[in-house]
Amino acid sequence: MSTRNAILTTLAALPGFAFLPSLTNAAEPPAPCGAVPTKQQVDWLRMEWYAFVHFGLNTYTNREWGYGDENPKQFNPKNFDANAIVSTFKKAGMKGMIYTAKHHDGFCAWPTKSTEHNITKAAWKDGKGDVVRCFADACKKHGIKFGTYLSPWDRNAAEYGRPGYLDVYYKQITELLTNYGPVFEIWFDGANGGDGFYGGAREKRNIGKADTYYNFKKVVEIIRGLQPDCIIWGAGGHGDVTWGGSEKGHVKYPCWNTDMNKTEGAKWMSLEGDTPINHAGWFWHPGQGSRVKSPDVLMQVYLDSVGRGANLILNVAPNRDGQLDPADVKSLLTFGENRRRLLATDYALNAAAKADQVRGNDKKFGADKVTDGDIESYWCPNDGTTTGELVMTLKEPATFDVVRVREQIRLGQRVKKFEVDVEENGQWRTIIPNGQSVGNQVMWKLREPVKAGKVRLRITESRACPCISEFSLLKMPKQMPTPTITRKGDVLNISSAENYKVVYTTDGSMPTAKSSTFSEGAKMPKAGTVKAAYYDPSDGSLGPVAEADFGLCKVKWSGKDKAAFDDDPKTHWESGDTPTVVIDLGETQTLGAFSYLPRQDGKVQNMTDRYTFEVSVDNKSWKKVAEGEFSNLRANPIELKVDFDAPSKARYVRFTGTRALEGNGQSVAEINLFPAETAAPAKPATKGGKKSRGKRGRK
Ligand code: FUL
């Protein structure tokens, strides 16, 4: 008997040690491999998804980034009910929410002592309200976690860019982490510097290296001192979680939480995919009901974030009344229900499992640990073995289309490659030939459902002996897809899908099984809303409704810069010497709004982010009807709609790019115009601000 086993035998004889496993084969757990997550990071990963709530002055000004000179009085959500919002999140299955206590415009939605630019100056509750308190209390009441977002960039603060701002900023962190109970995550956005109000200076401030200016090391120390369990997003890499890499919510696959080539000195860094539920942006915007992402799209986002080992933060923004948009809620709850159904039945649960090798032949590391439904127990082979085969025999053959594998991440992220096979007529057929990272979990959606009674997981490469905690077989619930609606000229196109009919309306009403069936060549010659859904004649079910809010039809439009109004988002106009696009509408119209779609080819060179918009009836005298900034395009290059102050008659329109994110040119993928009667009533989009460029680093 080894010395270790001799000690164990002695211990086992003592009272209280009866739990020790069969001593003949008591194997030690493997040593951790590379970086391991903290307990807080593991707990956080178990949450999977939660809400982001962008709600502040931008909600009232129809902007994505405020300049910093907005009047706080405007904030007046008369029917704000944090409990209603939080209970919707809870109902969807979300495990928490993060509120933008301060966005880049500097308005603090709690009665802070750090700046005057705060909620005490709002019309809401005569300045006696506190949005942070309302959300924190509602989260507590409904049993989900509360987190907060505090923008480091502050376009209102006079001292921003100088050492004086840091006191303000640290004070804000301290208030938020002292006065509102436990905060599960704090978010430090990476957008920095650039122009702003800055106490009236209206200039550009350059902060140099964000990490140095904000002293994120110190920020982390402050937070850890106040709330050691709080997960820190960003903070120049000193925190616990980093950006997923796009504002589409996806993270890249393979997804590594650590430098896989380092076994020493590496740090575990979790990933979070972030995205708004509505194409209109992070804040609520008038008329956004037609732009909500459909439940099947949200499921894909979930698979591409949570299903790759990251977490998902999904933004759902309250409107000016302080309530969630009904279209957002509908999609959120439908997706939430689909997710619940996806996870409800694991066809591999309690399946018999056999492995080619078990660590020290100890049952504690046996193959059945991957089907026992316990995320902490795990199968593991001996040290030095970096491959492995596990065969699961299901109680009865099952049909599934999602395979989920999880590692025991407390011992590090190890698996580099894996494959999955099913047994069909006594032969193995590979259904996942190219699995790579696993980590907290990988959810692999198969193209087609598979029916099998025996399934095999093969780990073909691992950094050290693999430690697999769970292997599950799931079935995606029936999710009817959502059609895509486009228009070219006056010809409408609604995408088709096998086995379904397309029903649609053009009068704003919801389509039903009895609505018109779409057939090719249908026309939509006016501005207005088209709503469409797939209809399944086999069971009479109707899928989610897609909406498209079309502007004026462009068939009569002319001008030399066609690519800016050719109804093709893939093409774009790029300026030569003149930064303007002039369009002749062919007839005089009364306009209420325009929209701008930035170039969609993934480049930011010459991407216009400041503009003026003018109208004319004779192509000689021009009237400026809007000017301002298109914010956040680098991270989220979406179509942005700008409502005019008053209806404007125009036969000609002129769009001028006055600043670009990079480069000296300008560009436009598409301009749309909306008649006054269909434009949503809204405040003017943006005004003021000097010509200078905001700089936005990687988050
Ligand atoms: C970005 C910000 O600039 C957006 O406004 C939004 O807050 C998003 C979550 O992060 O970087």
Mean pLDDT of 111-127: 98
Mean pLDDT of 109-119: 98
Atom of ligand 1 nearest to the CA of 65: 5
Atom of ligand 1 nearest to the CA of 632: 3
Residue 259 CB-density burial (10 A; 0-12 exposed, 13-18 middle, 19+ buried): middle
Whether a cis peptide bond, with omega within 30° of 0, leads into 684 is no
Residue 9 confidence (pLDDT) above 70 = no
Beta bridge partners of 314: 51, 275
**How high is the pLDDT of residue 79?**
97
pLDDT digits (tens, 9 = 90+) for 607-650: 999 999 999 999 999 999 999 999 999 989 999 999 999 999 99
Binned at pLDDT 50, 70 and 90, residue 290 comes out as: confident
**Would residue 5 be called left, alpha or beta, if left means φ above 0 and alpha means ψ between -120 and 50 degrees?**
alpha
| Cβ of residue 380 lying under 6 Å from some atom of ligand 1 | no
Q: Which of 283, 632, 640, 661 best tests ligand 1's pocket when mutated (most atoms within 8 Å of CB)? A: 632
Ligand 1 centroid to residue 582 C-alpha, Å: 32
Atom of ligand 1 nearest to the CA of 283: 5
Residue 1 confidence (pLDDT) above 60 = no
Q: Which of 97, 187, 189, 314 best tests ligand 1's pocket when mutated (most atoms within 8 Å of CB)? A: 189
**How high is the pLDDT of residue 692?**
29
Ligand 1 centroid to residue 107 C-alpha, Å: 15
Atom of ligand 1 nearest to the CA of 276: 9
CB 365 within 8 A of CB 27: yes
**How high is the pLDDT of residue 265?**
74
Of the candidates 185, 173, 172, 170, which has an alpha carbon nearest to the alpha carbon of residue 230?
Answer: 185
**How high is the pLDDT of residue 260?**
77
Residue 17 confidence (pLDDT) above 80 = no
Mean pLDDT of 313-325: 98
Mean pLDDT of 146-169: 97
Q: What does residue 32 show for φ and ψ, rounded to 5 degrees?
A: -60, 150
| Cβ of residue 64 lying under 6 Å from some atom of ligand 1 | yes
**How high is the pLDDT of residue 263?**
73
How far apart CA 255 and CA 154 sit, in angstroms, is 33
| Cβ of residue 643 lying under 6 Å from some atom of ligand 1 | no
pLDDT over 70 percentage in the chain: 93
Mean pLDDT of 208-226: 96
Residue 496 confidence (pLDDT) above 70 = yes
Ligand 1 centroid to residue 275 C-alpha, Å: 10
| Cβ of residue 168 lying under 6 Å from some atom of ligand 1 | no
Residue 684 confidence (pLDDT) above 50 = no
Binned at pLDDT 50, 70 and 90, residue 10 comes out as: very low
| Cβ of residue 632 lying under 6 Å from some atom of ligand 1 | yes
| Cβ of residue 282 lying under 6 Å from some atom of ligand 1 | yes
- DSSP string for residues in 158-172: TTTTSHHHHHHHHHH
Q: Which of 100, 247, 312 best tests ligand 1's pocket when mutated (most atoms within 8 Å of CB)? A: 247
Ligand 1 centroid to residue 423 C-alpha, Å: 47
Binned at pLDDT 50, 70 and 90, residue 525 comes out as: very high
| Cβ of residue 191 lying under 6 Å from some atom of ligand 1 | yes
Residue nearest (by alpha carbon) to ligand 1 atom 6: 282
Of the candidates 570, 566, 497, which has an alpha carbon nearest to the alpha carbon of residue 532?
Answer: 497
| Cβ of residue 189 lying under 6 Å from some atom of ligand 1 | yes
353 versus 479: the higher-pLDDT residue is: 353
User: Where is average pLDDT lowest: 9-18, 144-153, 215-224, 288-297?
Assistant: 9-18
| Cβ of residue 192 lying under 6 Å from some atom of ligand 1 | no
**How high is the pLDDT of residue 63?**
94
Ligand 1 centroid to residue 595 C-alpha, Å: 20
pLDDT digits (tens, 9 = 90+) for 244-289: 998 999 999 999 998 877 777 789 999 999 999 999 999 999 989 8
Residue 6 confidence (pLDDT) above 50 = no
Ligand 1 centroid to residue 104 C-alpha, Å: 9
Ligand 1 centroid to residue 283 C-alpha, Å: 10
Ligand 1 centroid to residue 51 C-alpha, Å: 14
Ligand 1 centroid to residue 54 C-alpha, Å: 9
State the sign of the Cα–Cα–Cα–Cα dihedral 648, 650, 655, 656. negative
| Cβ of residue 635 lying under 6 Å from some atom of ligand 1 | yes
Ligand 1 centroid to residue 189 C-alpha, Å: 6
- In this structure, the number of other CB atoms found within 10 A of the CB of residue 133 comes to 17
**How high is the pLDDT of residue 219?**
97
Q: Which two tokens stand for residue 52?
A: 């982001």
Residue 12 confidence (pLDDT) above 90 = no
Query: What average pLDDT does the structure give for the chain?
Result: 92
| Cβ of residue 303 lying under 6 Å from some atom of ligand 1 | no
Binned at pLDDT 50, 70 and 90, residue 15 comes out as: very low
pLDDT digits (tens, 9 = 90+) for 160-196: 999 999 999 999 999 999 999 999 999 998 877 689 9
Atom of ligand 1 nearest to the CA of 54: 7
**How high is the pLDDT of residue 585?**
98
Mean pLDDT of 105-119: 98
Residue 682 confidence (pLDDT) above 50 = no
Ligand 1 centroid to residue 669 C-alpha, Å: 22
Long-range CB contacts for residues 121-130, cutoff 8 Å, separation at least 24: 121/72, 121/73, 122/72, 122/73, 122/74, 122/75, 122/76, 123/73, 123/74, 123/75, 123/76, 124/75, 124/76, 124/77, 124/78, 124/80
Ligand 1 centroid to residue 368 C-alpha, Å: 44
Ligand 1 centroid to residue 103 C-alpha, Å: 8
Mean pLDDT of 443-469: 98
Ligand 1 centroid to residue 135 C-alpha, Å: 20
Long-range CB contacts for residues 490-494, cutoff 8 Å, separation at least 24: 490/523, 490/524, 490/525, 490/553, 490/555, 491/521, 491/522, 491/523, 491/524, 492/518, 492/522, 492/523, 492/524, 492/530, 493/520, 494/518, 494/530, 494/532
Ligand 1 centroid to residue 292 C-alpha, Å: 18
Mean pLDDT of 443-454: 98
- State the SS3 of 654-685: EEEEEEECECCCCEECEEEEEECCCCCCCCCC
Mean pLDDT of 513-536: 95
pLDDT over 90 percentage in the chain: 88
pLDDT digits (tens, 9 = 90+) for 686-696: 433 332 223 33
Annotate 139-174 with b (16+ C-beta within 10 A) or e (fewer): beebebbbbbbbbbbbbbbbbbbeeebbebbbebbe
How far apart CA 400 and CA 253 sit, in angstroms, is 22
Residue nearest (by alpha carbon) to ligand 1 atom 10: 189
**How high is the pLDDT of residue 576?**
81
Residue 427 confidence (pLDDT) above 70 = yes
How far apart CA 366 and CA 362 sit, in angstroms, is 7
Q: What does residue 551 show for φ and ψ, rounded to 5 degrees?
A: -85, -160
**How high is the pLDDT of residue 193?**
64
Binned at pLDDT 50, 70 and 90, residue 678 comes out as: low
CB 463 within 8 A of CB 30: no
**How high is the pLDDT of residue 577?**
79
| Cβ of residue 304 lying under 6 Å from some atom of ligand 1 | no
pLDDT digits (tens, 9 = 90+) for 342-351: 999 999 999 9
